[in-house]
Amino acid sequence: MAELLKVSALSAGYGKALVLHGISMSIEQGKAVALLGRNGVGKTTTLNTIVGLTRYNAGSIVLDGIDITRMSPERRVEAGVGWVPQERGIFRSLTVEENITAVARAGKWTLAAVYELFPRLKERRANLGNQLSGGEQQMLSIARALVLNPKMLLLDEPTEGLAPIIVEELLLAIRRIVRDEGLAAIIVEQHAQQILAITDHAIILDRGSVAYTGDSVRLADDNETLGRFLGIGAAA
């Protein structure tokens, strides 16, 4: 399968602080990657660097054959980067439908398509962003990223702080996006087992560097690696 994203020897950070040290990874078309690690090891910084929000130091980022390393965040979106940040980034004073249509671009992910994926959003299409629950805001954030019709989706802690029933609903939607619809994705998630179950490959970061890369199914059964880098067992 063709390579979609290639990150090579990437170093970046914030201000004078260097957080990432020579990160390299390769992601194929239609594949989903779990980006794992303890708090503070550089997972969010990796996504932020692909989006273009950190101080670049060295290395390169190539998306679908186009070098986006020096592009502005806006141009990276145009090149095909879709981003769902931890802060969700929705317009709280706009309705659900206005939030979606304000950023929509032509492609398979339309307003109707995201309503079919998230029926809750259709039910609340006239509600303002600040009238939604945390889970509904997260669904809206994902919907907004999808209607940009990106080549790759970056999701940063999509289930953080949400009730278990909403987490289950979101994971089912993400599974559909990456499995059934075949949209390439990098997913940062603290709940390793949940995300390993719906991804193809796993990358573990430790102190700003890649410490492990391999098959998600294999890692899910690897107690030693899970314990060493994440502090959990296979049943966690």
CATH number at residue 222: 3.40.50.300
236 pLDDT band, cuts 50/70/90, is very low
**Mean per-residue pLDDT for 156-177?**
94
* pLDDT tens, residue by residue, 197-228: 999 999 999 999 999 999 999 999 999 999 99
pTM of the model: 0.94
Quick check: is 3 in a domain?
no
In a domain, 98, yes or no: yes
Q: Is residue 117 within 8 Å of residue 176, measured between CB atoms?
A: yes
Tens of pLDDT along 51-97? 999 999 999 999 999 999 999 999 999 999 999 999 888 999 999 99
Does residue 15 form part of some domain? Answer: no
The domain in which residue 92 lies consists of: 31-54+80-230
Q: How many domains does the chain have?
A: 1
Residue at 17 is within a domain:
no
pLDDT at 232: 76
The answer to whether residue 12 sits within a structural domain is no
Confidence of residue 233 (pLDDT cuts 50, 70, 90): low
